[in-house]
Amino acid sequence: MTSDSDDLLSRLGDPERAELRDFAVRLASRAAENAARMRHEGVEVAALKSSQTDVVTAADRATEAWIREELAHERPEDGFFGEESDPTVGTSGLTWVIDPIDGTVNYLYELDNWAVSVAVVVGPPDPAQWQTVAGAVASPAMGDVYAAANGLGATHNGRELALAPATELAQALIGTGFAYAAAKRTAQAESVTRLIGQVRDIRRFGAASLDLCAVATGRLDGYYESGLHPWDHAAGALVAREAGAFVGGLAGARESREFLYACNPGLAALFERALIQVGAADAAELSG
């Protein structure tokens, strides 16, 4: 984090952080309701992105456009960094990091595990350098809204979250995800085959923001993935951290496109060792 971001973060008092969190909740919840209505009306693929399996729907674009308009109206001085449109730099030092529909493939197939993810950060739009001030993840099909503000804790549907004590690695339920490029996801799947015998079981739910919130609620004991974009994890990582989880990269690095893992801090050393041993981050070198 740069010292400018440090200064800005320390100047934001608890009331301002709480206000940003509440605004993020309103934005994410209303956007999620709109997206759910569009889902009900029918969804088609609008375009392919990085590969034939990396799709964008008209609802992804419309949801991001709606959020962008609300932000331009309510917070014109802030920057914007979203999955589906060009970034803008603001003058306030705050930037909104948006995934309009995380879990797009689930959304397309009418599976419930998708969410709107809204975060506001200080610093450049790079998870290695930013500090997340507040965020919300709204999953209308599952009836879940997660929210957090830096230093103020995390909530699930208004109820405060606090991690239960760590479980052993052999008893841990671990979530992960796969990139869209075939070579990369194949390498990721190979590392899963090496990990699955060391843990309780593996889950692939299909929305990184919700995987991180699942660590916060204890629905998963741990989660890891390489190749995530900043908007996939900005809000979910804050929810997990504020619930008491460890979130970061390997060997003391911050979470990044290269690697992110999250779990109870009591499990972190063993989990990290297992992830390195199975080569979970090796696919980071492959594009996609």
| Site residues for ligand IPD per CB under 6 A | 83, 99, 102-104, 177-179, 206-208, 225, 227-228, 232
Q: Which two tokens stand for residue 182?
A: 């075939």
CB of 256 vs ligand IPD, minimal distance in Å: 13
**Minimum distance, C-beta of residue 266 to ligand IPD, in the bound complex (Å):** 25
Closer residue to ligand IPD in complex, CB, 57/95: 57
CA gap 179, 185 in Å, rounded: 5
Q: What is the DSSP string of 179-202?
A: -SSHHHHHHHHHHHHHHGGGSSEE
In the bound state with ligand IPD, the residue whose beta carbon lies nearer, of 182 and 270, is 182
Q: Is the C-alpha dihedral spanning 28, 212, 232, 37 positive or negative?
A: negative
Least CB distance from residue 152 to ligand IPD, whole Å?
25
The residue (of 103 and 123) whose beta carbon lies closer to ligand IPD is 103
Beta bridge partners of 101: none
Nearest CB to ligand IPD, comparing residues 100 and 248? 100
**Burial per residue of 157-177, b for 16 or more beta-carbon CB atoms within 10 angstroms, e otherwise:** eeeebebeebbebeebbbbbb
- Least Å from the CB of residue 132 to ligand IPD: 17
CB of 214 to ligand IPD, least distance (A): 11
- Residue 75 CB, nearest approach to ligand IPD (Å): 23
Quick one: 19 or 219, whose CB is closer to ligand IPD? 219
CB 178 to ligand IPD: min, Å: 5
Contacts of 154 (CB under 8 A, 6+ apart): 146, 147, 148, 160, 161, 216, 238, 239, 240, 241, 242, 243
Closer of 149 and 210 to ligand IPD (Cβ): 210
Calculate helix-pair angle for 182-195, 268-278, nearest 10 degrees: 120
Which ranges constitute the DSSP H helices of the chain?
A: 3-11, 14-41, 58-74, 104-108, 182-195, 208-217, 230-242, 268-278
Task: Report the chain's terminal Cα–Cα distance, integer Å.
Answer: 26
Find where tokens 């841990």 sit.
Answer: 172
Question: What are the backbone dihedrals phi and psi of residue 102, each rounded to the nearest 5 degrees, phi first?
Answer: -90, 130
Question: Taking CB positions, which residue lies at the least distance from ligand IPD?
Answer: 177
Complex with ligand IPD: residue 1 or 229, whichever CB lies closer: 229
